[in-house]
Amino acid sequence: MKKRISDDKPKGRLKIIEDFLPSPEEFAKAEETQKITISLNKRSIEFFKEQAVKNKTKYQRMIRGLLEKYVDKYRTNQ
């Protein structure tokens, strides 16, 4: 009888990777937010809604992420 190989076990040579996840304390930190009202053109909203469906997320979260990346790129050292 042949020995069966289980599909749920890793195959090949294993490689230990450095822990890259933030600590639970870092997850618990809530950033201060402020609600605003913004008017965007319909085309932009439709784009973000379509992309949100494709990426299984919320369109407002995507817009927030885009704004945060923009700020990070252009913020001067304060």
Check whether 66 has a pLDDT greater than 90: yes
Residues in CB range of 48: below 8 A, 6 or more apart: 59, 62, 63
| Over residues 25-49, mean pLDDT | 88
Which of 13-17, 25-29, 47-51 has the largest mean confidence?
A: 47-51
The full set of domain ranges for the chain reads 41-78
Q: What is the structure's pLDDT at 62?
A: 93
The band of 20, judged by pLDDT with boundaries at 50, 70 and 90, is confident
| pTM for this entry | 0.58
Sign of CA dihedral 31, 35, 36, 41: positive
| Over residues 52-64, mean pLDDT | 93
